[in-house]
Amino acid sequence: MANSSHAPAFERALEEFRKGLKKRDQEENFKKTTFDELKKCIGDLQTKQHSLRRLQNLNRLKPFLEAMEQYGKVVTIFCNSNDLVAFVWVASSYAEAFGELLDTYEHIGENLPLFLQYENLFHAQPHTVRVLTLMYEDILKFHRIALRYFQQPLWKQLFDATWKTYKSRFSGIISNMARHRNLIESQASLSQIEAFQESRRIEDDRFDAQMRNENLGRSRAVYGWLKAANVDTDQYHFSKIRADYPGTGKWLLDNSTFKDWFNHQFPMIPPLLWLNGIPGAGKTILASLVVEEVRKLKPLPTVLFFYCKHKKSERDNFLALARSLLAQLLKQDKGLLLYFYQKCCDSGEAALDSPALVDELLTFAFQNCKSAYIILDGLDECAREERKKIVQWFRRLVEDLPTSEPERFRCLFVSQDDGVARKDFSGLTSIKIRIEDNKHDIDEYCRVKAENLKGELKLTEEKVNTIASTVANSIEGMFLLAKLIWINLSGQTSIRGLEEELKPQVFPTEINKAYERIMVRIKQQASPARIEEVLTLLGWLVCAKRSLKWHEIQGLKAINLDEQFVDHERQKFLVAPKDLCESLVEIRSDGTLELVHLTAKFFLVDQGHVDPPAQEIKLASLCVDYLNLPVFVDRPTGRGILNGDYASMDYAVLYWIRHLEAGVLQTDGNESLMKELAESLEIFIDQHWTSPNATFIVSKRNSDRLQFFKDLPFYEKLEQTIVSTRKQLTFFGKVKKDEIALDLADIVSNVREVLEQVLSSPMDPAIQNDIELKYGNNLFRCPRFSCQFFSTGFPSADERDIHVGKHDRPFPCAEETCPGYIFGFTSAAEREKHMRDMHPISVTQDQEFPTDQDIHQSLQSQQATESAQATASVVVQKPEPDPEPQNIPTQSRSRQEQMRKEFKCYYCSKILQKDIT
Ligand SMILES: Nc1ncnc2c1ncn2[C@@H]1O[C@H](COP(=O)(O)OP(=O)(O)OP(=O)(O)O)[C@@H](O)[C@H]1O
């Protein structure tokens, strides 16, 4: 009678389940157990719970066990094998979770038919056996999800935030089971089963898509909240630099100390390593190589990295670094999403700013992380206090690891070797980059560069070799110097020019000399007007308050103050930045223009090519004059948008004040520039003043700074403007209308409204392209000055609106199906009231705690259950060891009080009433 043609479908489902198990579980925990053993295990658990007085009513498992036992028998008959049926039993010592699990098993049990009564049907209509395989898939799917859930290291902490979502997944599976039972009970025909299978597939796809969508929404909210700097752009940029020199940095990978730190499988302590060297030795490029190598490891650990950057607020402090690592942790551990999302909703902040919360999230994410490599580069580029915070936090993370798992986290600190670093990294194992270490890499680098020169200037092989070794031997391990020398040599257009540069009295042997040679060449080759432009551009890059995008630079350049309009066509730079400034600048893949190295900034300032105080005042004037143009006084127009009139608006609106504050620190020697600034400010305040009701108290520090303007008629308004604007820039909440001194926020809003209208109307692709060239991408931006997305924006209005909603109503309802979840509430108190009114807490596990009588009956029935033959193979997931017993009150609950209670239907969310005691 046995028919093994159904076996492959069962095998496939089982194999699928096995594949989802962790290796250790496949080998150890996924063992075959008899049905009696399973029952004994449950009985033992119940006895133990009884002794601890933490008993859950395990009787609820009975229908499930009964159905599964019969299921095993039926399948054995039809597949001629008792090896196929696998049950998994998931238990937990965490009372709340265990109660929820029992609930789920109870629902499953209720929805499984008693299979033996349909044995004849399965014989008479073999196609109905197909339904058994579908049920089998469902049961395994439930267990696969449940197992994965309970195997997360910190699932208990995640339970409140995550169980609801899992429960909704289980309810989908359980309703499938109910529909399967229906098919059996109604003796469905083959075509009905097939139709059902198809509808189930569609329904599963729909459910999966819905889950993906929900998670996408949550991810967006969390990433928006984390506001993390994009380190992938950095990594890409540094990897690209290495790409032309395969094998570069190999010396580090072969270094024995490094190998000890790196070794994945046979870790040799130390887990904390400090890589240091002289400025420009190539440390950052090596750090990017280490990131790449870690990414090749198998099994892949969590890979975390950060490149610090001098005076860039999104890259020079602990908070920025932490946000980035949190975003990276989340990307590599999707299990964190629901927890982060809950924290994001509870925080009431549109961007993660609270140090305590940052610490909590980092600690949590690392506790949930089994193995991580952390690479932190350029710590010397952060201010002293921030540097200390970073080092202390990560030293503690690694040093406090239990001795049983010292290799769980490894951290590589990369920085210059200065006094501060020596103190911060005292006691750590270190690798100092010596001249002989990167010599081979530098030789190779010089060889490739010389080869390029050979083609351009038609040099002999011998000459090329001599030049390559001259450069390589003179730079003493400083990669940056080699790079600058080659920039200079490659820019020569004749052999004579080249020979001149190689003369000992001209050839640079230190970094500033190399920069100087580049400046000499720029000046030699450019007209005075061009030199002026180059110096202006370099001045902007030195003083910019954040990285400037090329389109913003073009917008600033296009400002025509004489004729009071923006003249992109005739005033923008017509040559690429590299042609203007040689390789003193680099354009990044995200469109930002950067100086080639921090030392270039110091050089430009030290050698007087850029005068920061004067440059700051000029930039303040430029921003203010720009905002005084008629285009910002008249209503914005579509023509103005297309003309690029507002291309630098975002930068000017936020940073005019920062340039002013930096400029007024040193007014001596810059009196005429200051006078010009004063004139511009007077017009500025006159044009944009909103007559706010509030009067701000001006601190002595602020009024001292504004000393230069003291006697001017608009001084008081200027003071108020400064304090009000500062608040707008730094306060993360909503600034009240009557506290805002200037109408800039309104102007921005009007301009963006017109820009969005233009974008939403049908448009020639060439025009669209031109708009992107002038304004960049992600043009749907947040109106709040203090928000990162004021400048970086979103690709669509919807995404921006959701983000803005989080500013305005940052406390969403915890029930994802409630409209309050989407719209949120303005305060935590308002949300709590809503939760109390609309979502009163449902029956708790406590109310279901069984009485002594229940316990007695339950144990009796366990023993009385007939000792069935072990026809089924059973997989037992061992329950976790119980924590220490706690002092639980010993009185049993009274059952006298009877009341009507509302219950929500597991499947359709309908509210039903039932008497409970
Ligand atoms: N292995 C390499 N191959 C090619 N170019 C390199 C390599 N290493 C460094 N460079 C070049 O030298 C420049 C300086 O290197 P890098 O920024 O890594 O130095 P650093 O030691 O980190 O400097 P700092 O101490 O100032 O942070 C890089 O911009 C890159 O162009």
**Closest CA to ligand 1's atom 16:** 282
Helices (H), 761-851: 765-775, 789-792, 797-808, 819-823, 828-838
ipTM value, please give it: 0.98
Ligand 1 atom having least distance to the Cα of 482: 12
Instruction: Supply the pLDDT for residue 286.
Output: 98
Confidence of residue 151 (pLDDT cuts 50, 70, 90): confident
Three-state SS sequence of 629-653: CHHHHCCCCHHHHHHCCCCCHHHHH
Q: Under 8 Å CB-to-CB from 631, ≥6 apart: which residues?
A: 565, 566, 640, 645, 646
Nearest 5°: the CA angle 783, 788, 791 is 65
Q: Does the beta carbon of 285 lie inside 6 Å of ligand 1?
A: yes
Distance between CA atoms of residues 780 and 753, nearest Å: 10
Which residues is 737 bridged to in the sheet? Answer: none
Q: Does the beta carbon of 477 lie inside 6 Å of ligand 1?
A: no
Query: Which run of H or E residues covers position 9?
Result: helix 7-20
pLDDT, one tens digit per residue, over 118-143 is: 888 888 888 888 888 888 888 888 88
Confidence of residue 310 (pLDDT cuts 50, 70, 90): confident
Structure tokens at 721: 């403007």
**Closest CA to ligand 1's atom 3:** 242
Structure tokens at 529: 């007007």
End-to-end CA distance of the chain: 51
Residue 66 identity: E
Q: Does the beta carbon of 133 lie inside 6 Å of ligand 1?
A: no
User: How far apart are the CA of 480 and the centre of ligand 1, in A?
Assistant: 5
Has residue 881 got a pLDDT over 50? no
Residue from 283, 285, 485 to probe ligand 1 pocket by mutation (most atoms less than 8 Å from CB): 285
Residue pointed to by tokens 């200079």: 488
Structure tokens at 860: 């009796």
Q: Does the beta carbon of 670 lie inside 6 Å of ligand 1?
A: no
Q: Does the beta carbon of 646 lie inside 6 Å of ligand 1?
A: no
CB contact at 8 A, 6 and 78:
yes
Instruction: Supply the pLDDT for residue 57.
Output: 63
Ligand 1 atom having least distance to the Cα of 438: 1
Q: Does the beta carbon of 310 lie inside 6 Å of ligand 1?
A: no
Q: Does the beta carbon of 309 lie inside 6 Å of ligand 1?
A: no
pLDDT, one tens digit per residue, over 3-57 is: 456 667 677 777 777 776 666 565 555 555 566 766 777 777 777 666 665 555 6
pLDDT, one tens digit per residue, over 832-864 is: 777 777 766 433 333 333 344 443 444 344 343
Q: 3-state DSSP call for residue 530?
A: helix
Q: Does the beta carbon of 251 lie inside 6 Å of ligand 1?
A: no
Distance between CA atoms of residues 486 and 492, nearest Å: 10
Q: Does the beta carbon of 249 lie inside 6 Å of ligand 1?
A: yes
User: How far apart are the CA of 306 and the centre of ligand 1, in A?
Assistant: 16
Nearest 5°: the CA angle 585, 587, 593 is 70
Distance between CA atoms of residues 463 and 458, nearest Å: 10
Q: Does the beta carbon of 479 lie inside 6 Å of ligand 1?
A: yes
Residue from 412, 490, 597 to probe ligand 1 pocket by mutation (most atoms less than 8 Å from CB): 597
**Any idea what DSSP says for residue 29?**
I
Has residue 888 got a pLDDT over 90? no
**Closest CA to ligand 1's atom 28:** 480
Q: What is the mean pLDDT of residues 415-438?
A: 91
Report the percentage of the chain scoring pLDDT > 90: 40
Residue 290 identity: V
Residue from 483, 510, 595 to probe ligand 1 pocket by mutation (most atoms less than 8 Å from CB): 483
592-595 vs 302-307, strand pairing mode: unpaired
Q: Does the beta carbon of 257 lie inside 6 Å of ligand 1?
A: no
User: How far apart are the CA of 393 and the centre of ligand 1, in A?
Assistant: 27
Structure tokens at 143: 């267990």
CA atoms within 13 A on the CB side of 277: 25
Cis peptide before 299 (omega within 30 of 0): yes
Q: Does the beta carbon of 739 lie inside 6 Å of ligand 1?
A: no
User: How far apart are the CA of 479 and the centre of ligand 1, in A?
Assistant: 6
Q: Under 8 Å CB-to-CB from 97, ≥6 apart: which residues?
A: 150, 155, 156, 159, 163
pLDDT, one tens digit per residue, over 447-480 is: 999 988 887 778 888 888 999 999 999 888 999 9
Distance between CA atoms of residues 225 and 24, nearest Å: 37
Q: 3-state DSSP call for residue 685?
A: helix
Residue from 420, 480, 510, 598 to probe ligand 1 pocket by mutation (most atoms less than 8 Å from CB): 480
Q: 3-state DSSP call for residue 86?
A: strand
Count the residues in the chain: 917
User: How far apart are the CA of 232 and the centre of ligand 1, in A?
Assistant: 18
User: How far apart are the CA of 540 and the centre of ligand 1, in A?
Assistant: 24
Q: 3-state DSSP call for residue 545?
A: coil
Confidence of residue 752 (pLDDT cuts 50, 70, 90): very high
Residue from 284, 308, 476, 595 to probe ligand 1 pocket by mutation (most atoms less than 8 Å from CB): 284
User: Which of 52-61, 169-178, 465-474, 617-626 comes out lowest in average pLDDT?
Assistant: 52-61
Q: Does the beta carbon of 341 lie inside 6 Å of ligand 1?
A: no
Domains defined for the chain, CATH in brackets: 4-188+852-882+893-916 (no CATH), 228-333+369-433 (3.40.50), 437-523 (no CATH), 526-748 (no CATH)
Residue pointed to by tokens 């109106």: 783
Ligand 1 atom having least distance to the Cα of 596: 29
User: How far apart are the CA of 483 and the centre of ligand 1, in A?
Assistant: 8
Structure tokens at 504: 């000992």
Q: Does the beta carbon of 445 lie inside 6 Å of ligand 1?
A: yes
Q: 3-state DSSP call for residue 414?
A: strand
